[in-house]
Every structure is written in C-alpha cells, then in structure tokens.
Amino acid sequence: MDLRQIQLFMEVADQQSFTKAAEHTFLSQPSLSKIVKRLEEELQVELFDRSTRHLSLTDAGKTVYQQGQKSLESLSELKILLDELRNVKTGEIKIGIPPLVGTLVFPDMALKFHAKYPKVWLQLVELGAKRIVQLVENSEVDLAICVLPVDEEKLNVYPFISDEFVVFIYDEHPLANREKLSISELKDEKFILFSDDFTIHDSVINACKANGFEPNVSYKTSQWDLITELVSAKMGIALLPKSIFYKQNNPKVKMIPIKDSVFHWRLGIITKKDTYHSFATRELLKMLIENPNEKNSAK
C-alpha cells in the first residue's frame, strides 16, 4: 500500500464513479479499478458498496478515507515547514470575512500586506459570519475576521474593531430630523436586515426583543449596499454599524445615533486552536493585531 493508491481511492470516492475518477486522474478505468481492488486485497476489506448506481463507501472505506485525509494533510504541512526552513516567503492565505467587514477592512489590509510580502496571495472567502466561524473550525480558512462573541474553547480570539450601531433612515422619514432615537421608538417601522446566516441579523433581532418588540422585517439581503438603497427607496429602516455610513454615498440616506447606546458591533480576528499556522499567516496576524493603522475607525 502506498500514498498513490490512497489518493486514487479517495478520488473515486469523491467522484462516486470509477469512470469520472479515471478522467480526472488520466488513467484508464480498468487500470484504476485494478489499483483500488489491489488496495482492498491488501487491507482485506471492501472499500466500496458496488451494488448501487453510484458508488458509496463502506464503513471500512470511510475509515480509510478519513485516515487518508489526515496523511495528505500531514504531507502538506511538511511542505510548509520545509519552505519555512528555506525562508521562502511565498504561499497563500485564505481569509474568511463577512461582506460588510470585507468592505471596511480588506482593501487596506491587502495593500499593506502585499507591500511587505508581494509573493503571498491573499484569498478572500466572503460569507456570513456564522458560516465563516464554521470554516475556521473546519480548517477551511487560515484566519477570519468576524463578529464576536464566538466559542473561545475552540478558537483563538483577538479583539479587532468596536463600532456603535446607528439608525439608517431615508431623508423624508418623519423621524429623520431627530438628533437621537431609542430602539423602542422603531417598533412600528419596517426593518431591512442582513440574511439569517449573518451574525448582525441576530444582533438586530435581539436588540429589538430586548426593547420589547419583534421587528417587522420587510427585506433580507446579504449585501450592505442593497440595504442602503432599499432604505433610500423608503422600503424600511436599518440598524447598521456607524462606519458603514461613510462607505455609502446616497444623499437620501441619513444616520441617526441611538440614545444611550450599549448596542455595539464588536469584531475579532479568529484562528483555530491547536493547529499549525504558516509563516505568512502568522505575519498577517501580527500585522493586524499590532498595527493600529490597520484598524478602521468609525469614520
């Protein structure tokens, strides 16, 4: 049994077909079948249930697949370690960022990091904060910037940005000339929210409930700029971090602070605990934590 056999077996499992796997590995289907059959004979188990149209793994097959993944991950880590020993500062960092956060911090982050490490590629993964946390826990991204709190038993957490929520309201709204508003005064308004997989969605819902009402939601979206356009079109109001107001340029949208606000948007940088981080990832993390210029203010 060798690693090549395991890789080919895993490809068949991923494709659920010897024919498709053969196309991906540039082998003939009979040759690939023989390799997997030889592996089964060496291990003295059946790896696939061949009785259905699509191949499925047996219990033994699932075990071999999981161990194969661990072996490949170990080899990948070995390459990174050897690169570091040779001081080759190249590579890729996968960064998970919700779209709203990405708008505020990623351009400056990428510019400053690229100036220092031009051979390191930053790959941005934009999803809602809830999904981003899962990606970190599953080691699918190297680090992430997301809304706090998160599970600190599984994750390293480094505080990053704190901002206050404000009311986004259209300029002709009866409340538009108020200097400040309380959340309770918005109970009869229609709310435009981020989609359910965004932590900020839950934050707004919980803030309304804490003030004695369930918000009347008119629209949900994953795009912050669409939220501001819907506000300007008089489709509702929104509660958003103050910093986003200075990123939009619609003159029909006004920002009103919230009275005695304890309603804040806290962002943190997170990484998975007890896992290896590449040289490049550690350098980016160091830059974000230590460089005060990297932290965007509310304006």
pLDDT tens track for 7-23: 899 998 888 889 888 88
SS (H, E, C) 78-141: HHHHHHHHCCCCCEEEEEECCHHHHHHHHHHHHHHHHHHCCCEEEEEECCCHHHHHHHHHCCCC
For residue 100, give the nearest of 190, 236, 221, 257 by alpha carbon.
Answer: 221
Q: Where does residue 16 fall: left (phi above 0), alpha (psi -120 to 50 degrees), or beta otherwise?
A: left
Q: Which of 78, 107, 124 is the last residue of a domain?
A: 78
Tell whether 180 and 260 lie within a shared domain: yes
Tell whether 203 and 256 lie within a shared domain: yes
Strand-pair partners of 217: 191
Number of domains in the chain: 3
Quote the pLDDT of residue 84: 62
Answer whether residue 299 is part of any domain: no
Tell whether 111 and 70 lie within a shared domain: no
Tell whether 104 and 58 lie within a shared domain: no
- Cis peptide bond N-terminal to 149, omega within 30: yes
Answer whether residue 202 is part of any domain: yes
CB 9, CB 64: distance < 8 Å: yes
Quote the pLDDT of residue 295: 46
In the chain, what's the furthest Cα-to-Cα distance? Answer: 78
Tell whether 71 and 138 lie within a shared domain: no
In Å, what is the CA distance from 236 to each residue of 109, 253, 272? 33, 11, 38
Amino acid at 112: K
- Please name the helix (run of DSSP H) or strand (run of DSSP E) that holds residue 282, with its range, or none: helix 279-290
CB 219, CB 192: distance < 8 Å: yes
CB atoms within 10 A of CB 61: 23
Q: Which of 78, 106, 140 is the last residue of a domain?
A: 78
Alpha-carbon span 28 to 18, nearest angstrom? 9
Give the CA dihedral 107, 113, 243, 192, nearest 10 degrees.
50
Tell whether 212 and 141 lie within a shared domain: no
Give 185's DSSP letter: G
What CATH number is associated with residue 148?
A: 3.40.190.10
Tell whether 183 and 153 lie within a shared domain: no
Tell whether 124 and 192 lie within a shared domain: no
Query: 116-138, pLDDT tens digit by residue?
Result: 888 888 999 988 888 899 999 98
What is the DSSP annotation of 47-62? Answer: -EETTSSS-EE-HHHH
Domain that holds residue 62: 3-78
Tell whether 131 and 271 lie within a shared domain: yes
Answer whether residue 23 is part of any domain: yes
Quote the pLDDT of residue 260: 67
Give 149's DSSP letter: P
Tell whether 185 and 257 lie within a shared domain: yes
For residue 267, give the nearest of 120, 123, 116, 102 by alpha carbon.
Answer: 102
Distance of CA 47 to the CA centre of its chain: 34
Question: In a structure prediction context, what are the per-residue pLDDT tens digits for the chain, which is 299 residues long?
Answer: 788 888 899 998 888 889 888 888 888 989 989 999 999 999 999 999 888 777 889 999 899 999 888 888 777 777 776 766 455 467 789 999 988 888 888 888 899 998 888 888 899 998 888 889 999 998 899 999 988 888 899 999 998 888 899 999 999 999 999 999 999 999 999 999 999 888 889 999 999 999 999 999 999 998 899 999 999 999 999 999 998 999 888 999 999 999 866 678 889 999 999 888 888 888 899 999 876 444 444 44
**Token representation of residue 157:** 């957490």
Tell whether 147 and 271 lie within a shared domain: yes
Answer whether residue 86 is part of any domain: no
Tell whether 141 and 260 lie within a shared domain: no
